[in-house]
Structure 1
């Protein structure tokens, strides 16, 4: 449980860092690029991936290429979403993205669709609709299309990344090796983009990137450790992680940054929690209701 709590905290702290980036003059693109250097170094030191057989990674080159593009792109989108829309909605949209790989599990990977998953997916789309809802007053905001686009980008981007990682897992290659190559490609792409723009590097961007890389890696390592420590109950890790981030992100956004959410937005967060509960605890909830009534 300690690893799970640490992973939740690290995930929300990433959003907090992205939220304060503008106020601290931290260029998000620079921070994301430096983040991948830190992630590569920590992956080598901590996870110690087996690179003795490079040919084993060749069959999945297209997956690495896709991840190399998506990882930095979605990170930048997430940064802009947190800055524009806020931590509450951005974190909720990110966690709702888990329903895309769930849908892919029976559409692409041949798993069986049960009542719990179907109910969860329907509720997830309802929650996403509530999160994107704007009041009549805010609908006049010129930035509304941009805000909706950013939230949809976070949702779709993280969902596709999860699907790609699941496909990589099916290939039989080691997770740490997959992670290392994806980080390397993402870093190369970000640095290539920044150098092409003749970016003037700042100490704020570098320091922000180091912090971002450390938090991002800690999030991954503690999440993996939580799965290892609670190997007999993986659903607790999945559900706990997603619910924990939504709840903590909501509290931090509302209390620390005074983010305002409408009643419909708040309902969307509640529906998101219900959707995750249906996905992971459908059978338990049915048994409880049968016993109760």
Structure 2
């Protein structure tokens, strides 16, 4: 349970870092790529074995970090585009609602058992995520723009499901730091290719503020994945329940941090989402 709590804390710190990006005018894309490089270095530092490229290539999980690395950058850009076209709330809801995908994966493919109360808790969690994330009023999305939140939903769900798959089928406890590091390393390489293509038209300028922002983001980002994989290895909760707790707790704590640190104003609907989040956590964790 401690690993899950640390993963939630790390993810909440990611939210804080992104909010500070707005305050200090950090360019998000460049900070994101720096963050992946930092997260990769942290993972290599924590790995206790020797890093041997030939053994990594021969590992059964080798193709996983490549897939996840590309997905990380792709989903990030889709989230940014969704926020621009449909609003930040829509992007946030699409990301967090994606917990449905790993939950169904755990139940269908790993025959995980959920009690009736846990199922009620998961349904309440979905409502809580929706209500707590909806910050904008009178949101309208054109039919042609529905593809963007749909892709964010699908991409985010595939990332969580892939992490569960590799943890279950391919990873040993000793390999978790190296696997996590490789995921972020591949994401960094994909991002560097992306900005390399962009820099043909707009020359890249190194900015100390972006680098510092990337460092502040990279450390909690690494540990959010590292502790999530460790939590999945424990037998306290089924992965379906664990992903629900992880996502709804992140939304709840991020909302509360927004109030306390950044003086955000919440509507009655947002407060209702927070209350439902607490109730869903109780149902999923205790029953």
TM category, shorter: 0.7 to 0.9
Distance change in 2, residues 1:49/1:240 (3 Å):
farther
Query: Match of 1:175?
Result: 176
Which stretch of structure 1 is more off in the superposition, 48-57 or 164-173? 48-57
Query: Match of 1:196?
Result: 197
Query: Match of 2:266?
Result: 261
* Alpha-carbon distance, 1:16 to partner: 1.4
- Provide the rounded CA distance (Å) in 2 between the counterparts of 1:81 and 1:256: 26
- Look up the SS of the partner of 1:30 in the other structure: helix
- In the superposition, the TM-score normalised over structure 2's length comes to 0.73
The number of residue pairs the alignment matches comes to 272
1:101–1:159 Cα contact (<8 Å) kept: yes
- Provide the rounded CA distance (Å) in 2 between the counterparts of 1:96 and 1:151: 10
* Alpha-carbon distance, 1:267 to partner: 1.4
Q: 1:86-114: per-residue Cα shift (whole Å, max 9, x none)?
A: 8xx94x87665444312211223333454
- Provide the rounded CA distance (Å) in 1 between the counterparts of 2:29 and 2:221: 15
Superposed, which structure 2 residues align to 1:137-286 within 5 Å? 138-139=137-138, 156-173=154-171, 174-198=175-199, 199-220=204-225, 233=236, 238=242, 245-282=250-287
- Structure 2 unaligned regions, length at least 5: none
1:242–1:276 Cα contact (<8 Å) kept: no
- Provide the rounded CA distance (Å) in 1 between the counterparts of 2:30 and 2:270: 32
Distance change in 2, residues 1:244/1:64 (3 Å):
closer
Query: Match of 1:118?
Result: 119
* Alpha-carbon distance, 1:172 to partner: 2.3
2:36–2:188 Cα contact (<8 Å) kept: yes
- In the superposition, the TM-score normalised over structure 1's length comes to 0.72
- Provide the rounded CA distance (Å) in 1 between the counterparts of 2:146 and 2:263: 20
Query: Match of 1:54?
Result: 56
- Structure 1 unaligned regions, length at least 5: 283-293
- Provide the rounded CA distance (Å) in 2 between the counterparts of 1:217 and 1:132: 24
- Provide the rounded CA distance (Å) in 2 between the counterparts of 1:130 and 1:222: 27
- Provide the rounded CA distance (Å) in 2 between the counterparts of 1:180 and 1:271: 35
- Look up the SS of the partner of 2:59 in the other structure: helix
Which stretch of structure 1 is more off in the superposition, 258-267 or 93-102? 93-102
Distance change in 2, residues 1:215/1:169 (3 Å):
closer
1:28–1:76 Cα contact (<8 Å) kept: no
1:28–1:79 Cα contact (<8 Å) kept: no
